[in-house]
């Protein structure tokens, strides 16, 4: 009952200023709904771009890079008696192959965080049908492994990924390439590398969300590419690795690199541009939201200052009849909290409403049919928490002022 | 007879606009159950003295005892708690909270004190309002009743926690003679029948004459302890 009277006074003051209270609460509502909407949109967009990235990039790619020459061999040859320096180190051109890929795979198999792996060999290629030619990259893969990793099946518009298993000379091509070279399932396509040329049969056509992939990428069996490159049957250029939590890719990559000695690249480092875009989006959204919340905070600050200015005699009376500083603070902080809580609840509802309607808005630009919007409880909870904290702070400052009112000065008049 | 209030060598200075001694060496005692008027010309320091006695003004030298407790030197918060329980106030401009009903105005100090349940407080508040003849007004907003009625509600509020001492700064200053007489009678009754100590600052000589004792002030000094 002791604090009940603070609540009652706070509530009465707010009801007495219904209009300003509603306006102040709507300020919070606006801030919180924007917070929720922007965060939902940005998270949705980030998830969408991430999904797009991961549909073409493995979490981790392991390959053999050209190495810069170092003094290790020299030390071995000359011994430790001399200090060996290479004055103008050069990149050592290499075969770029992974030596003994099956051993590497077995080694990696022991890691619990890895959920799938796929070895492959790829090269630049010229596709041609009669006289028309197109550049691109051909990927020699174990199609079942790749399908598990990138869900190629879901992007197939003609044929089946399994067709490669039965047809050693089969090739799965993108829809863009199919149009440019006027190819249908069952047609023949000629692929020419720097060293060899072969004719393959189109067994399937896929359509991804990325245009360049549809125009240039093709899948075939590993031996086809090995033959095009005139390499032996153990020639493997890359191992693709997917792990349980792809945000842990950098740490896992680091440890794989140390274990195997091969160069390891994460999806994050191969998509730095897009991830920079994510950062920028976050910064923009946060500045907008902070601005709105500050404005909403000023709304609350303002109304409380007004109430305190108007009620200064009553504050003096309350102090005269025995209200202490902290009681006065709680009267005004409670008002701010009421405003903040009402505003935040409305803000969550409105924020959901805006997010929902925008997610139903047809965009139809490129692969984006509808704006990607995430509906995550954490945005709503965060929004409400921010709203209430902002309100509290905006109320606390004037409340302190009210608590310092000297009743003698006011009552003396 | 026990002592309700003891002031010893109270001195108070105002520093703005110029250094000015508003109270000089004020010393006196008031017994329990006494009805005392403080009089004097305008500017003689009556209000200044009352605010010191009321514990609201702590910026003075000297010693103040209320109900055998030393008040001087206590912190604001403990003084607020003391006022809540032991002191009642009536001001010239009755100062009710206009957003609340008369009843709620009377209940507020008791709710702050928090010793009784809500319904007990409400019952007591009704009793006080009835005693002061404004029981009918209980549920009206405090801003919707006459000045004389407002002053009686303010007295009811001052009495709700059964304080030992009731103080008033010109509590009848804004009332007509009929209402002034009513308030006087209430004060006298409180002193005689309920053994409350009443200290009021007043301009009104008739009012002062009828009280038990007059403390007269001039230029911040007590010139008569009749
Ligand atoms: N806040 C103040 N600052 C400076 N001087 C004051 C203040 N309040 C009162 N005074 C001065 O103190 C003297 C006593 O004032 P007050 O106690 O209000 O007189 P009374 O109530 O007897 O009319 C007056 O001369 C007045 O001008
Ligand atoms: Mg005065």
Which ipTM did the prediction report? Answer: 0.93
- Residue A72 confidence (pLDDT): 66
Indicate the pLDDT class of residue A93, thresholds 50, 70 and 90: low
Asked if residue A337 has pLDDT above 80, the reply is yes
Sign of the dihedral defined by the CA atoms of residues A8, A9, A12, A17, in that order: negative
Instruction: Please give the residue of chain A at the shortest CA–CA distance from B93.
Output: A411
Q: Which residues pair with B7 in a beta bridge?
A: B28, B64
pLDDT tens digits for B35-48?
999 999 999 999 99
CA B150: distance to chain centroid? Answer: 15
- Residue A92 confidence (pLDDT): 66
Q: When comparing pLDDT for A163 and B107, which is higher?
A: B107
Q: Where are the domains of chain A?
A: 2-53+274-412, 60-266
B15: domain CATH number? 3.40.50.300
Return the DSSP state at A246: G
Distance B17 CA to ligand 1 centre (A): 11
- Residues B130-146: b if buried by 16+ CB within 10 A, e if exposed: ebbebeebbeebbeebe
- Give the contacts of A164 (CB within 8 A, at least 6 positions apart): A143, A170, A171, A172, A203, A204, A219, A220, A221
- Residue A1 confidence (pLDDT): 41
Which of B192, B185, B198 lies closest to B131, judged by CA?
B185
Query: Reduced to 3 states, what is the DSSP secondary structure of residue B3?
Result: strand
Interchain contact, A322 vs B89, CB within 8 Å: no
Q: Of the residues B26, B40, B43, which should be mutated to test ligand 1's pocket, given the most ligand atoms within 8 Å of the CB?
A: B43
Distance of alpha carbon B65 from alpha carbon B68, whole angstroms: 6
- Residue B224 confidence (pLDDT): 79
CA B99: distance to chain centroid? Answer: 23
- Residue B211 confidence (pLDDT): 93
- Residue B47 confidence (pLDDT): 93
Residue B191 near residue B33, CB atoms below 8 Å? yes
pLDDT tens digits for A63-84?
887 766 667 667 777 777 777 7
- If one counts the domains in chain B, the total is 1
Mean per-residue pLDDT of chain A: 86
Expressed as residue numbers, the domain containing B158 is 3-225
- Kindly state the average pLDDT of the residues A245-251: 86
Q: What are phi and psi of A293, to 5 degrees?
A: -65, -35
Instruction: Please give the residue of chain A at the shortest CA–CA distance from B157.
Output: A321
Asked if B79 is an interface residue toward chain A (Cβ–Cβ < 8 A), one would say no
Residues with beta carbon inside 6 Å of ligand 1?
A: A 412; B 14, 16, 20, 22, 40, 42-48
Residue A13 near residue A307, CB atoms below 8 Å? yes
- Residue A366 confidence (pLDDT): 65
Beta strands in A207-251, from DSSP E residues, in sequence order: 217-221, 238-243
Q: Could you please report the per-residue DSSP string of B87-134?
A: EEEE-SS----TTSBHHHHHHHHHHHHT-S-HHHHHHHHHHHHHHTT-
Half-sphere exposure of residue A329, counting CA atoms within 13 Å on the CB side? 12
Highest averaged pLDDT of the listed ranges A155-164, A222-231, A264-273, B4-13: B4-13
The H or E element containing residue A348 is: helix A325-359
- Please report which ligand is nearest the Cα atom of B221: 1
Share of chain A above pLDDT 90, in %: 29
Q: Which residues pair with A221 in a beta bridge?
A: A141
Return the DSSP state at A11: H
Distance B72 CA to ligand 2 centre (A): 22
Distance B92 CA to ligand 1 centre (A): 16
Structure tokens given for B15: 């520093």
- Residue B94 confidence (pLDDT): 65
- Cβ–Cβ pairs < 8 A, chains A and B: 74
pTM attached to this predicted model = 0.76
The beta-carbon neighbor of A322 closest among B47, B83, B104 is: B83
């Amino acid at each position: 009952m002791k604090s009940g009277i603070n609540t009652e006074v706070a509530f009465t003051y707010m009801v007495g200023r219904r209009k300003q209270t509603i306006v102040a609460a709507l300020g919070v509502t606006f801030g919180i709904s924007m917070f929720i909407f922007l965060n939902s949109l940005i998270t949705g967009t980030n998830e969408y771009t991430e999904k797009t990235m991961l549909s073409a990039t493995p979490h981790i790619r392991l390959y053999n890079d050209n190495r810069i020459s170092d003094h290790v061999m020299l030390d071995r040859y000359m011994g430790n008696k001399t200090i060996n320096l290479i004055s103008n180190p050069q990149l050592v051109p290499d075969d770029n192959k992974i030596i003994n890929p099956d051993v590497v795979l077995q080694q990696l198999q022991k890691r619990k965080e890895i959920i799938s792996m796929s070895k492959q060999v790829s090269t630049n290629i010229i596709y041609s049908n009669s006289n028309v030619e197109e550049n691109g990259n051909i990927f020699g893969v174990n199609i079942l492994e790749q399908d598990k990793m990138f869900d190629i099946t879901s992007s197939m518009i003609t044929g089946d990924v399994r067709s490669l298993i039965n047809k050693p000379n089969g090739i799965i091509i993108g829809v863009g390439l199919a149009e440019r070279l006027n190819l249908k399932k069952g047609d023949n396509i000629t692929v020419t590398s720097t060293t060899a040329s072969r004719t393959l049969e189109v067994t399937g056509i896929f359509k991804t969300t990325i245009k360049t992939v549809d125009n240039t990428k093709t899948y075939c069996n590993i031996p086809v590419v090995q033959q095009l490159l005139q390499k032996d049957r153990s020639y493997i250029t890359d191992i693709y690795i997917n792990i349980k939590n792809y945000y842990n890719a950098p740490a896992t990559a680091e440890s794989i690199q140390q274990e195997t000695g091969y160069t390891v690249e994460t999806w994050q480092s191969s998509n730095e541009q897009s991830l920079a875009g994510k950062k920028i989006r976050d910064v923009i959204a946060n500045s907008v939201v902070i601005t709105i919340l500050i404005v909403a905070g000023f709304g609350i600050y303002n109304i409380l200052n007004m109430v305190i200015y108007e009620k200064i005699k009553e504050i003096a009376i309350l102090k005269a009849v025995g209200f202490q500083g902290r009681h006065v603070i709680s009267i005004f902080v409670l008002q701010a909290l009421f405003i903040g809580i009402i505003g935040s609840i409305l803000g969550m509802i409105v924020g959901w409403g805006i997010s929902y309607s925008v997610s139903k808005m047809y965009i139809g630009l490129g692969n984006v049919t509808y704006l990607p919007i995430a509906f995550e409880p954490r945005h709503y909870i965060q929004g409400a928490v921010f709203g209430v904290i902002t309100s509290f702070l905006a109320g606390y400052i004037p409340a302190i002022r009210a608590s310092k009112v000297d009743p003698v000065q006011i009552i003396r008049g | 007879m026990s002592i309700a209030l003891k002031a010893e060598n109270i001195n108070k200075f105002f520093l703005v606009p110029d250094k000015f001694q508003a109270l000089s060496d004020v010393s006196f005692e008031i017994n329990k159950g006494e009805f005392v008027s403080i009089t004097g010309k305008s500017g003689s320091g009556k209000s200044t003295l009352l605010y010191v006695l009321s514990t609201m003004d702590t910026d003075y030298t000297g010693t103040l005892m209320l109900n055998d407790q030393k008040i001087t030197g206590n912190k604001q918060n403990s003084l607020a708690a003391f006022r809540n329980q032991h002191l009642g106030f009536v001001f010239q401009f009755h100062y009710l909270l206009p957003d609340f009903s008369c009843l709620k105005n009377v209940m507020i100090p008791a709710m702050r004190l928090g010793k009784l349940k809500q319904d007990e407080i409400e019952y007591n508040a009704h009793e006080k309002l009835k005693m002061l003849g404004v029981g009918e007004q209980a549920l009206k907003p405090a801003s919707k009743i006459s000045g004389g009625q407002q002053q009686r509600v303010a007295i009811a509020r001052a009495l709700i926690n059964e304080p030992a001492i009731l103080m008033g700064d010109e509590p009848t200053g804004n009332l007509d003679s009929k209402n002034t007489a009513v308030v006087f009678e209430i004060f006298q009754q409180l002193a005689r029948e309920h053994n409350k100590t009443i200290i009021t600052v007043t301009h009104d000589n008739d009012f002062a004459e009828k009280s038990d004792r007059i403390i007269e002030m001039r230029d911040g000094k007590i010139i008569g302890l009749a």
